[in-house]
Structure 1
Amino acid sequence: MSSSPRVTQSSIRTRTMASLQRNLSKTQVAQDQISSGKQLKRPSDSPTGTVTALQLRGEVRANKKYSANADDAVGRLGTVQDTLGNSLELINKVRDLTLAAISDGGTTSDANAARAAELEQIKGTLVQFSNSKYLDRPVFGGSTPDAAAYDSNGAYIGEEAGETLRAIGPNAKVRVDIRGPEAFGNDYLVDASGNYVDASGNAVADADRVANPTQLFHVLDSVISAMKTGDYTALNTGLQNIDKASDQLKSTLSDVGARYNRVTQMKQSAEDRLMSVSSQLSDIEDVDLPKAIMELQLQQTSYQAALAATAKVIQPSLIDFLR
């Protein structure tokens, strides 16, 4: 013969209070989710969801960094692109003036003197272009910490080695700088003693430097000098060097344009991926507000019903009357 377990007022009261507490806890959870907007507040809420959320957060940070790097690359390459385009327009003007001087037979004249004066002004403008800056750093100076890539005479004073790279995607880096000699031609450097040397550090005689003006500003100097002296042969040589300088600028501009396009494409890709990952993260972390509100209302209704039922089940005892 089995006996039923004895049910006392104390056991009823204990079980009832435990049930009320569980119901109240669920109400509190629903209320916290609505107030915070998050369904994950601690790893114990969803261990697998927490791991996935951490992975997605890492990807969000990476794509934000890629997008920021792409913005910087677009700014730098855009500055270089605009500068080279403006420089090419001036080079075309230089070519027209040189052709006009050659058409005059290379003789010294007031017209050639005026052309030479105009070329000097154009050279000054081109030197300013060569010192164009982005975020207060010369874009043609390599990694130089100085404020200029070229001195007032058009001599390159920037860094000869090194590249400035930006990570714009997973395992994707792009160079965002152009050193002056790559755009404006090979230049003779000035060493610590003030002597001209080539890129290998070998001394260059003044006569050789003048006779081999491979750099744009040296070319301009030779053309200006030829115009002033009426040297027809030097003007023809200068015209050929101007065409070479123009071709080099065009080639550099094409390379920069290709890099610019790649950066903009990678930037769009990073932003699209960021949007996708952020949506996935929201699905895991963020609460479904309508569902949470319905859950809160359900728990509140359940709690009120439990309170009403408890009031009927737990009747006042003799002790309650003696209090």
Structure 2
Amino acid sequence: MSISLRVTERSMSTQSLNGLQGSLGRLSQLQQQLSSGKVLSRPSDNPSDAFAAMGVRSQIRMQQQYSRNAQDGIGWLGTQDQSLSSGLDQIRQARDLVVQGMSSGSTGPDAQAALAAQVDSIRQSLLQTANSSYLGRPVFGGTTSGQVAYSPAGVYVGDANAVDRSVGDTATVRVDTTGPQVFGTGSGQLFTILTDLTADFTANPAALGADLDRLDAATRTVTAQLADVGARYSRVMSMSQAADDRVLALTGQLSALEDVDLPKTITELNLQQTSYQAALSVTAKVLQPSLVDFLR
């Protein structure tokens, strides 16, 4: 025995309207996606993809920070590289002057005094090099809050603290070099050596040989530090490129999660519009108004 269900005009109208509302809602969603260019406009659109997108965005921000840190480190190390390269040229000039002053019989007192003046001028220039700064901070002064690493007398006024930059998930690079590491300390300090040379040219020419040995030792120290700065510079450059590449890859992942597929969405929109218009037409024909509707 079968049971027949009575279908009323009201139930047909309700079902038809629900279907039309659902179709209109889908049409509106597709139009919103096309206008915004995004599949995800709110977490409720797709909770799992929205959560994944949040994670990707967090990684992008982290990699962008690494890239900014690396660029700052490149500025620090690039300044040191230029300063030390210039400093070495000046030190070699001073050495040539010492060798000239040691040549017996080739120079008189006036010439020796002139050589002393040139060495002193190189010393003053090297002090300016030692006080090179990046963004207002002396690159050879550690973390000092002062404007210079060396006083006019050649005394180190910075500190021994390191300036580090985080350039990767597990990569931290030191981007400074303290003055004593580069220019030495005590009797082997470059500025002390140049001061002694300036005096010995006229007062004690016999000491120029020992002064030259000290100058050569100081030159080797500066050269070694220049090589170390160059190695760190190359590493930071590589980490900067790696961070930028990672940002590009993550941006692609985020686009796959959030951005709309234009050809697919346009096709779906056209189909949905056709479906909605057809549903409207059929509903209008099936649910004709009755005499009771007019009597109400």
User: Which TM-score applies when normalising by structure 1?
Assistant: 0.88
Q: Which 4+ residue blocks in structure 1 deviate beyond 3 angstroms?
A: 104-108, 319-323
1:140 and 2:131 matched: no
- C-alpha deviation, 1:4, in angstroms: 1.8
Runs of at least 5 residues in structure 1 that lack an aligned partner in the other structure = 188-212
**Greater mean deviation of Cα atoms: 272-281 or 139-148:** 272-281
Map of 1:111 onto structure 2: 111
Map of 1:293 onto structure 2: 266
Q: Is the 8 A contact 1:107 1:232 kept in 2?
A: no
Matching residue within 192, 212, 217 for 2:191: 217
* CA distance in 2 between partners of 1:106 and 1:18 (Å): 109
Q: Is the 8 A contact 1:66 1:167 kept in 2?
A: yes
**Greater mean deviation of Cα atoms: 243-252 or 108-117:** 108-117
1:169 and 2:143 matched: no
- C-alpha deviation, 1:321, in angstroms: 3.7
More helix by share: 2
User: For residues 248-280 of structure 1, what are the alpha-carbon distances to aligned partners after superposition, in whole Å with 9 as ceiling and x for unaligned?
Assistant: 000000111111111111111111111111111
**Greater mean deviation of Cα atoms: 172-181 or 313-322:** 313-322
SS at match of 1:222: helix
Question: Residues 50-69 of structure 1: matches in 2 within 5 Å?
Answer: 50-69=50-69
Question: Residues 1-323 of structure 1: matches in 2 within 5 Å?
Answer: 1-104=1-104, 109-159=109-159, 161-187=160-186, 213-229=187-203, 231-322=204-295
* CA distance in 2 between partners of 1:158 and 1:15 (Å): 82
- C-alpha deviation, 1:96, in angstroms: 0.3
SS at match of 2:111: helix
- C-alpha deviation, 1:108, in angstroms: 5.2
User: For residues 207-234 of structure 1, what are the alpha-carbon distances to aligned partners after superposition, in whole Å with 9 as ceiling and x for unaligned?
Assistant: xxxxxx21100100000001122x2221
% identity of equivalent residues? 47
* CA distance in 1 between partners of 2:295 and 2:81 (Å): 94
SS at match of 1:72: helix
* CA distance in 2 between partners of 1:317 and 1:134 (Å): 86
* CA distance in 1 between partners of 2:78 and 2:273 (Å): 60
Runs of at least 5 residues in structure 2 that lack an aligned partner in the other structure = none
Report the AA paired with residue 55 of structure 2: Q
* CA distance in 1 between partners of 2:201 and 2:291 (Å): 123
How many pairs were matched up? 296
User: For residues 38-61 of structure 1, what are the alpha-carbon distances to aligned partners after superposition, in whole Å with 9 as ceiling and x for unaligned?
Assistant: 112233322322232222122111
User: For residues 148-181 of structure 1, what are the alpha-carbon distances to aligned partners after superposition, in whole Å with 9 as ceiling and x for unaligned?
Assistant: 100112111111x321111111111000010001
